[in-house]
Every structure is written in structure tokens, then in C-alpha cells.
Amino acid sequence: MNQLTSSSYQHWLISISNKIATITLNRPAVKNRIDATTLRELGQLTSEIQSNKDIWAVILKANGDSFSTGVDVSLIGAMINNDRETYESNLRTFQGYLDAFEAIEKPIVAALHGYVIGGGLILALCCDFRIAADNIIISLPEVKRSIGVIMGTQRITRTIGLAYTKELVMLGNHITSQRAYEMGLVNQVVAQDNLDEETKLFAEQFLDLPPLAVGLCKKIINEGQFLHRAGQELEIEAQAALLETNDFKEAISSFLEKRKPNYKGS
């Protein structure tokens, strides 16, 4: 395993093995609550992952007994003690870190366990796939504290639709892993003891696929879902770009030669 620059981060661990980067939220003493440092460092991690051509897939997980219990009260307090203009500016900055992470042109698989609350769920929704342990508890309790969901209403709606989003956001109740699966919040529910292995197996599927094509498919889906005509143009541009890659040539050659393709990411 090749350890990257984990020493540069206070709240995260990062490692890479066999083209899969594993980033771990490492604040177990405070149930992996998310504060300004967590988000700033996520922005730095995003740049590191996006620029590393040896990374073909990403796993997001957390140490301790919960994935994340949400945004740290200190972050909310610091923001509301400012004037409105500063508050809005801070929110846009933090939203930018999540947007950039979500836009990494590599598949991101989240491993969820324990409590996945508020901002913790929003972080998970920035991932492309979510594998849930059978013991998770999910909620967006902000409404019970007389505040709205921060940095995530649109992500929830895109994932599960209006009706389920309203149920989660407007009631603020806890839901189980099975209910989350029924809603489409998670892709799979697995036994807690098998979570790491099942998440790894899911991520390893992308190692047999051309990474540039996977990345462009993700970009088309994320950016084109509400653009209609513009989304169609995005597909055309992406397809034209893929036709010029060595991986495309390898895909054609391997098909004609009846062998498994050997993709290089170029």
C-alpha cells in the first residue's frame, strides 16, 4: 500500500492500493463531526485525487462507530455570529468543497455505518455509490432545530425524488438501512462485518473498465441530467474525446482479438 500525504491532514487519512484510493474521515472521538477544517482538507484531498492518474476509483469511509453525526455545532455557531453577507459567503465556500469532491471524474463509493446524520448524509450523497451496513441510522434532523438542510437539498432530491426528500427533510425522522434502500438512498445493504470487503469489491469492478470513459460517463450524468439539449451536446463532446484515446483503440483491438482488454487510462 502506498501511503500518500496523510500527514498533511488533521481530519483525514488517505492511502492508495491497486489503483483505489481510500480516504477515511478520522475524527472518531467526536463521531466524525464535520467542521471547517474537515471541509477545507476535503478540498485539498479532491485536488490530490483528481490529479493522480494512478487512482481509478475512490472509497470514502470513516473510523469509529459512526460514519458522521453531521456538521459540528462550532461551525454553525461561527457562521451565524457573522453578518448575512459573510454567512452566505462561508456557505458558498463550503459548498464549493463538496461540489468539487462530487465532480471528481472517478467513481466514488461510500461505506456507511452507524449514524449518518445531517451533513454526514450530504457528504455521502456527494459519492456516486453508497454501500450501507445493516445497522445504519440516517436522518436529516435540521427542521427540528428550526434550520434548513445546508448544502444538500438538491443532492437529496436528485437521488430519491421530491416525495421521499420531503419525508426526510420536513419530518426529520430517523430511517433504517432497509428504508434507505427502499428510497434509493443506498445501493446495497450488507452485514456490518462485511462492509469493508463489500465496498472494496464494488470499487474493484471499475479496475476492469477504461477510467477515462468511466469518468466522462460520470460527468455526463452529473452535468447533463437537467440540461437536456446541452446534455446531449455534452455526450457528443465526450464521445468525440473518447474516440481519440488509447483505451478506445485497445477496446476495439481486444474485441476483435477476443481477449480481455488491458486499459491504461490514456
CA distance 139 to 177: 11
Residue-wise pLDDT for 33-73, tens only, equals 999 999 999 999 999 999 999 999 999 999 999 999 998 87
Question: Confidence class of residue 252 from pLDDT cuts 50, 70 and 90?
Answer: confident
Give pLDDT, residue 1: 41
Query: Over 60: is that where the pLDDT of 235 sits?
Result: no
**How far is residue 18 from each of residues 55, 105, 136, 200, 206, measured CA to CA in Å?**
8, 18, 29, 11, 11
DSSP-derived 3-state class of residue 13? strand
Give pLDDT, residue 214: 97
Domain residue extents for the chain:
2-207, 209-256
CB 48 within 8 A of CB 11: no
Question: pLDDT > 70: what percent of the chain?
Answer: 86
When pLDDT is averaged across residues 198-222 and rounded to a whole number, the result is 96
Give pLDDT, residue 5: 54
Give pLDDT, residue 41: 97
- CATH (one of 3.90.226.10, 3.30.1280.10, 3.40.50.12640, 3.40.50.1980) for 2-207: 3.90.226.10
In sequence order, what are the beta bridge partners of 129? 109
More confident position, 3 or 117:
117
Backbone torsions φ then ψ of 26, nearest 5 degrees: -125, 65
When pLDDT is averaged across residues 185-205 and rounded to a whole number, the result is 98
**How far is residue 175 from each of residues 8, 141, 146, 167, 190, measured CA to CA in Å?**
36, 11, 20, 10, 16
In sequence order, what are the beta bridge partners of 20? 17, 57
Q: Which residues have a Cβ under 8 Å from the Cβ of 136 and sit 6 or more positions away?
A: 67, 112, 113, 114, 115, 116, 176, 177, 180
Round the average pLDDT of the chain to a whole number and report it. 88
Give pLDDT, residue 229: 53
